[in-house]
Amino acid sequence: MKIGFTGLNLPEGKVKYEDDVLNALAAKDRPKKVTPYFAEFVCNEFIDCDAILVGDSSVLDVLITDIEKIEARGNQQSDTDDEMFPDNADSLIERCLVTLEAETPLCEMILNKEEQEMLKSIGVISLKPVVTIKNDIDGNTAISIALSAAGLSFFYTSGPTESHAWLIEIGSDIVTCAGKIHSELARGFIKGDVVGFDDYMTYHNFNECRSKGVARLVDADYIVQDREIIEIRAKT
């Protein structure tokens, strides 16, 4: 995950996420290896970011850039017939400018898919999740805020060999999660075993979770929930 920021005192580069769930799993299972998640922070670079965190006094700096891009595209639209633009392009441009001039990022607008693609084509920034931060925050808090804004969460694998945090989009099915672990697990997927974090912490290991009936055997269309621990059954 790449987090863009401006107007905030945050570290640049890779930052380890101090994940309470992963730390608890590692303390319980005592694995040979612990694999935490690292987010990347970039200052004043937003194009490839998953979320943007903006200090309260710097919001306009981000929005003015979008205003300039949309105004330029509006002028171009009046001079050319661009098939990439929807028929309601003039109306969309006007709506965007009204939104931005009200100091509101474009991500808060209700847009259809065609409108989103049009705005992406001109490289606007605030179509990405933008969060205004009023007070100083540390890197870990910033990662938590960005994860929520970008619609991302973690699932986990844990045992005596390794405890691992895996980043996914909220709403991902278990086959997608299997592919995060290894592509062959997704291709050969048969079933998945899933247990919630609290239940996993209650019992000795995954096998005891199964024997106590708190682990569920799920099919390919199962949507993995935040903080769940999973195991994959797959053809090898």
Annotated domain spans of the chain:
2-21+37-132, 171-234
- pTM of the shown model: 0.89
Task: Please report the pLDDT score of residue 75 as a whole number.
Answer: 80
Task: Please report the pLDDT score of residue 79 as a whole number.
Answer: 55
> What values do phi and psi take at 231, rounded to 5?
-130, 145
Alpha carbon 72 to its chain's center: 30
Task: Please report the pLDDT score of residue 85 as a whole number.
Answer: 57
126 CB burial (10 A radius; 0-12, 13-18, 19+): buried
Neighbours of 180 (CB within 10 A): 16
Task: Please report the pLDDT score of residue 77 as a whole number.
Answer: 63
Task: Please report the pLDDT score of residue 86 as a whole number.
Answer: 55
> What values do phi and psi take at 55, rounded to 5?
-65, 150
What parts of the chain have a pLDDT lower than 70? 77-88
Largest Cα–Cα distance in the chain? 70
For residue 189, give both structure tokens.
Answer: 């997927």
Of 153, 143, 151, 150, nearest in space to 225 by CA: 153
Asked if the domains 2-21+37-132 and 171-234 are classified in one and the same CATH topology, the answer is no
Task: Please report the pLDDT score of residue 87 as a whole number.
Answer: 58
Q: DSSP code of 225?
A: P
Q: Tell me if 203 sits within 8 A of 214, measured CB to CB.
A: yes
Superfamily of domain 2-21+37-132: Obg-related GTPase Ych/YyaF, coiled-coil domain (1.10.150.300)
Superfamily of domain 171-234: Beta-grasp domain (3.10.20.30)
